[in-house]
Amino acid sequence: MSAPPRTSDASILVLLAFYASQIGCEIPEHLSWTSLSAWKWWSSGGNRRFSKMLLDGVNSPHAYRLWGAKKWEGAREAIERANGGV
């Protein structure tokens, strides 16, 4: 495992993407506008509002448990609760 980039050299999004890739949580694959799987997830029922919440709402650590090997079924509800049920 290589060292993460220094925050002075990279934006916070690059740093978070690095952490996501290291723990295998698949956030970039589901939220990047260049990813086909992100577009499929976004266009599926009810995910547009939730996607906007992930991108524009409160930054919640529960997002790292939405997808991947250590997926947690209660992560979506926890994120919605942290954002005030928007």
Q: What pLDDT digit, counting tens, does each position of 36-83 carry?
A: 888 888 888 768 888 888 888 888 888 888 888 888 999 999 999 998
Helix and strand totals (H; E) in the chain: 5, 0
DSSP three-state, residue 28: helix
Q: Is 78 exposed, middle or buried (0-12, 13-18, 19+ CB in 10 A)?
A: middle
- Alpha carbons 13 and 55: distance in angstroms, whole number: 11
**Which amino acid makes up residue 49?**
R
**pTM for the complete prediction?**
0.68
**Which amino acid makes up residue 13?**
L
DSSP three-state, residue 48: helix
